[in-house]
Amino acid sequence: MALKILVNSLFGGGAEIQAALLAKTMKPEAFLLLDGGCSPLPDLPPFSSLLHHGASLPGAIKTILSPLYASRLAAKTCRGDTVLSLMERSNFVNILAARKSGHRAVICERTHPSVDFSGIRGALMKPIIRKLYPAADLIISNSKGNARDLTENFGAPPEKIRVITNACDTEAINAASSEPLESRHEAVFTRPVIITSGRLRTQKGHWHLLRIFAGLKKTDPDAALVFLGKGELEEKLLGLCAAMGLNAYFPGRAAGPQAKDDVFFLGFQKNPYKFFSKAVLFAFPSLWEGFPNSVIEALACGLPVISCDCRSGPREIMAPETDFQTEAAAPEETAFGLLMPQFQVTAPDFTPVISGLERLWAKHISALLSDSARLEKYSAAARRRAEDFSLKIKIVEWQTALGINSGSLGV
């Protein structure tokens, strides 16, 4: 049996990072991209692309081209092979190609499709998921929450679904987290830094965090807020900073971070862990998730977390002893930080008015910043929790699911 791994592209998103991590560790016969798009992720294993086209080609067109991609994939596989795909378009292509080649199609769902896809995009993607996903040979969900979403909303047979949460290379993260910061960033981290990481898009709810931070500054004026990531909401978030009276640093618009700055947009970082390890608290206001890599990575850096109890993932990470279907109605203390009531899933709101729930976040963050003993307790527990997602543990789960001999894996 030959194993092949397929993913849309390698632009640094959570599913793409997981695909690269699995490819490095499981050493498949081929690591394939649909589109050939790639950003400079560190230590990428060798890969090849099914098609080459401009990055500007709309996602809807790429989805419509799934049969063409599938023909290319089928030509590279044969009966007895296993193709492991991550991300929806790759999953579509994998299932369609299996009809021609007879290979075993194992697909991975990394988010909540019922929430992630809306509007015109949802009208295209959701029916395809309902039609194709039940035909996969095996479906790997990265959380109990998105497994439930697939069975309840997309007709996926429960007997075909297996939950394997995301893997975390804790050894590599530990080494990377000890690297020094560039000199231009050092002064920022002499202050109590709240940090977050992720693409600046609707899903992540970053406008809530800016309003939370504006409230926090009234009690903790020395605090700083750092964003790692880029995205389509950059300008809107900068506008909200101005409306809230927060001085924002953005690379390329100033010579460097200034002492007067409150919020720091540092963009995509190849090594976010050296920033995590120098911060005081990781804040995660997402509206929905699959199973957030960044929360696990923050824990691996010993960083306490305050997170929305959104669907799904944060509760499974932060409070694994509780029912994953539970929803926090009030701030809930865990061994590693706090789970907060979730924000409503709405369109982005950039009005400079702090809501009651945002004030509650600010109050609890302020309490954490003033309690070093509590932060130290969370930090020690965080590192231990991250080990539950280590490569050595997760790869055994993948071995079992895929029927791969452990001797063929580089762990």
Residue 183: burial class (beta carbons within 10 Å; 0-12, 13-18, 19+): exposed
Q: What are phi and psi of 372, to 5 degrees?
A: -65, -35
Q: Note whether 80 and 103 are within 8 A (CB).
A: yes
Helix, strand, coil percent values for the chain (each to nearest 5): 45, 15, 40
What is the model's pLDDT at position 44?
73
Q: For the chain, what are the domain ranges?
A: 3-167+390-408, 171-388
Quote the pLDDT of residue 402.
Answer: 93
Give me the amino acid identity at 390: S
Inter-residue contact 176 to 274 (CB < 8 Å)? yes
The answer to whether the beta carbons of residues 189 and 261 sit under 8 Å apart is no
Burial class (CB in 10 A: 0-12, 13-18, 19+), 58: exposed
Q: Cα separation of 272 and 197, whole Å?
A: 8
Domains 3-167+390-408 and 171-388 share a fold: yes
Query: What's the length of the chain?
Result: 411
The pLDDT score that the predictor gives to residue 411 is 41
Residue 101 φ/ψ, nearest 5 degrees: -95, -20
Q: What CATH number was assigned to the domain covering residues 171-388? A: 3.40.50.2000
Confidence (pTM)? 0.91
Cα–Cα separations (whole angstroms), residue 397 to 6, 154, 315: 19, 25, 21
Question: Considering the domain 3-167+390-408 in this protein, what is its CATH number?
Answer: 3.40.50.2000
Alpha carbons 395 and 206: distance in angstroms, whole number = 33
Per-residue pLDDT of the chain (411 residues; tens, 9 = 90+): 799 999 998 877 788 889 989 998 899 999 999 987 666 566 777 888 998 765 678 888 999 999 999 999 999 999 999 999 999 999 999 999 999 999 999 999 999 999 999 899 999 999 999 999 999 999 999 999 999 999 999 999 999 999 999 999 999 999 999 999 999 999 999 999 999 999 999 999 999 999 999 999 999 999 999 999 999 999 999 999 999 999 999 998 887 899 899 999 999 999 999 999 999 999 999 999 999 999 999 999 999 999 999 999 999 999 999 999 999 999 999 999 999 999 999 999 999 999 999 999 999 999 999 999 999 999 999 999 999 999 999 999 999 999 886 544 444
